[in-house]
Structure 1
Amino acid sequence: MANKLTTGKILYYFFIAALMMISTLVQAFDHQHPSFSEVLSEVVKLSPNKKQTRVDYGQLYKKPEQLNHYLAQLSSVKQSEYQQWSSDEQLSFLINAYNGFTLQLIVHNYAKFQTGKAKSIKDLGSFFSNPWKQSFFTLLGEKRNLDNIEHQMIRQWFARPRIHAALVCAAVSCPPLRAEAFVANKLNQQLNDQMLQFLSDDQRNTIKISENTVYLSSIFKWYREDFEKGQQGFNRLQDLIKEYQADLANYPQQLTWLQKQDYSIGFLDYDWRLNDISTF
C-alpha cells in the first residue's frame, strides 16, 4: 500500500510540475514587446508638426539585428500559445507583426532604394505577385505574407476598424508609424491616438469648405466597408468624422461647418513613395 501511495504521489507531483512548465512556456512571450519598442524609438522620427512620422531606414539597414531578433521571437510563437492569449494581446501581436515584417521587407530591399531602382514598396513586387503577397516569413506555424496578417487575420478576427490607422505599409501617405510597440494594456488608447493623429494631419485628411467636401485618405475608400458594419459604433464614414471632428477641423470655422453642413466625402490621392526620412 505504501509503495502504491508513493508511486501515486510521484505521478501527481510530476503532473503538477508538467502543468507548471506548460504554464511558464505559455507566459514566456513578453506582451510589452520591449525589443520592438526599442527599435521603433530609435528609427521612427516625428515631423515638426507632430502629425507625421518617417523611418530612418539607413540606420535600420546598418543595424537590423534587434529587429530580426524580435521578429524571430514572433515567428517562434505557436498557434496553441497564441490561442491562450487575451483578444488585446492577440491583436497587439498581429499589428506589431505586420509593421515589423514590413520594416524587414524594406530593409531586405534597401539597396534597391539606394540605387533608385525602387521608390515605393510597390516596386518590390513582381509581374506575378505584389509585395504584400510575398510569403517571406513564418507566423503561427505557417509561411505567411503581409496580406495574410491584414486581411485573413486582423480584419477577419477582430471588429476594430481603428486598426486602419495602425497598420503602416511603408508609404508616405500611410498613417504615422508609432514610435512604440502596440501593447495589450494600452491598445484601445493607442488605436484611438493613431486615428486622432492621422485624421488631424491635413495632408492626409482635409476639409474644403469651398467645395462642401471632406477629403479623406484613400485608406477610407479601400476599407470603407469596415466602417459600415456597426463595429465600434461606426455605420458610415460620417460617423467616423463626427467622432473625430474636433481633431479633423484645424480651426473653429471648420468645426462649426462640420457640425451644421451636409457635406460630400471625397478621397485624396495616395503617395506611395517610401516613408523614409528623406521625404520629410
Structure 2
Amino acid sequence: MRSLPLLPFVSGLCRLCRPVRRASLPGWPGLASLAPVLVVMVMLAMPGAVNAAPKADLWPDWQVYDPQSTIMVDHAEWQGVLDRFVDQPEAGVTTFDYQRALSERANGIYAVAHYIDQMVDISVSRLNRAEQMAYWINLYNALTVKVVLDHYPVASIRDIDISPGLFASGPWGKKLVRIEGRTLSLDDIEHRILRPIWQDARIHYAVNCASIGCPALARDAYDAKRIESQLDQAARGFINHARAIHSDGDGGFVISSLYDWYRDDFGAGDAQFVAHLLTFAGPELTAQLDHIGGFDVSDDEYDWALNAPQS
C-alpha cells in the first residue's frame, strides 16, 4: 500500500556516505557531498523507482485450497479489538486508538498478539477460498496494527523503518510471521497472495496501512460468509470520500495516489477506471463523473499521517 518515498531514499544514501566522508583523504571531496549526484544516477538507473509499487507476483504454493472445506476461522478476538479501539469520526473514515490499546494491554496489544498467534497456527491450505480471503485480510490488518503498537508513538507508519534493504522504507518488507513453514511480510501477504490469487481491486480497500490517506480500517472483521458485501462496503466508503477523488475546481480531478500506484488493478484505461468508480459511487460523485467531457486527473495525493484519533 505504498510507494518508495524520496526522502528516506536520499537519507539512505547519506547514511551510507557518512563513514566514507570521515575516512576521506585530505583534498578529496567527501562522498556525502556527492549524494545528490548519486541520487540522480540511481534514479536514472531505476526509472519509476520513486513512485514504484510492488507488482502482483503470485507465489504458487499459496494457491492450494480445499473447495469442500467447512472449516470456519474464528476472528472473534480481532473483532473484540476493533470494537474497543476503532472509531468512525465521519463516513468512510476510521481511526485506531493506539495509545489506549497500549494502556489497556490485556484487551489491546496483548489481544492483537494473541489473535495473530492463533492465526499463525491455522493450516491455511485446508480452508476454502472465501475463508482464505477473510483470513489473509484480517491477518494483514492485525499485523499492521501490531507493528504500529510495537513502535508507538510514531507520526507515520513510514517512520517504522524495519524493512530490509538499503533504500527500504517502512515495515512492509519485514518478515513478521511464519505460516505453514514459510515466513511472510506484509508485502508478501498483499502482493504475493491476495492480489494475484483473487485479482480483485476491492482488496485495496480492505487492507489497511494505518494512515489517514488509506482506505478505512473496517470496524467489522472480514467474514467468509459475507465478505462480498463487506468488500463492496469498503469500496463505497473510500470512493465516496474526498481523499479518494474530488474536483480540483477547474474541470479536473485530484485522486488518491493509491490509484496511481496500482493503476492497472482498477482498469487498463480511463473508461474502465471511471466504470470502477461508478460501480460504487453515490449520487454526488456519480453526477460529477457523468457531467465531464473527459476524465482529467490534475494531481494525486496521499496523507501518510497515522490514523490515530486527532487531539
TM-score by length of 1: 0.77
1:90 counterpart (132, 143, 147): 132
2:291 counterpart letter in structure 1: K
1:214 paired residue number: 253
1:260 counterpart (276, 280, 291): 291
5+ long unaligned stretches in structure 1: 1-25, 250-254
Matched, 1:125 2:157: no
Tell me if structure 1 keeps the 8 A contact 2:83–2:219: yes
1:76 paired residue number: 121
Give the whole-Å Cα distance in 1 for the aligned partners of 2:125 and 2:271: 30
2:309 paired residue number: 277
Alpha-carbon spacing, 1:221–1:75, altered in 2? closer, same or farther (3 Å)? same
- Aligned pairs, number: 235
Give the whole-Å Cα distance in 2 for the aligned partners of 1:57 and 1:151: 26
Alpha-carbon spacing, 1:86–1:248, altered in 2? closer, same or farther (3 Å)? farther
Deviation at 1:69, TM superposition (A): 1.0
Say which SS state the counterpart of residue 183 (structure 2) adopts.
Answer: strand
Identity level (%): 25
2:53 paired residue number: none
Pairwise CA RMSD of aligned residues?
A: 2.3
Tell me if structure 1 keeps the 8 A contact 2:72–2:131: no
1:141 paired residue number: 181
Deviation at 1:136, TM superposition (A): 2.2
Deviation at 1:257, TM superposition (A): 4.0
Alpha-carbon spacing, 1:263–1:240, altered in 2? closer, same or farther (3 Å)? same
Give the whole-Å Cα distance in 2 for the aligned partners of 1:156 and 1:35: 28
Tell me if structure 1 keeps the 8 A contact 2:232–2:280: no
Tell me if structure 1 keeps the 8 A contact 2:236–2:281: no
Tell me if structure 2 keeps the 8 A contact 1:37–1:181: yes
Give the whole-Å Cα distance in 2 for the aligned partners of 1:105 and 1:187: 25
1:54 paired residue number: 95
1:237 paired residue number: 273
Tell me if structure 2 keeps the 8 A contact 1:245–1:258: no
The Cα offsets for residues 163-191 of structure 1, whole Å up to 9 and x where unpaired, read as: 11111111111111111110111101001
Structure number with the bigger relative contact order (C-alpha 8 A, sep ≥ 6) is 1
2:131 counterpart letter in structure 1: E
Say which SS state the counterpart of residue 278 (structure 1) adopts.
Answer: coil
Alpha-carbon spacing, 1:266–1:73, altered in 2? closer, same or farther (3 Å)? farther
Larger of the two Rg values belongs to structure: 1
1:106 paired residue number: 148
Say which SS state the counterpart of residue 282 (structure 2) adopts.
Answer: helix
Matched, 1:169 2:209: yes
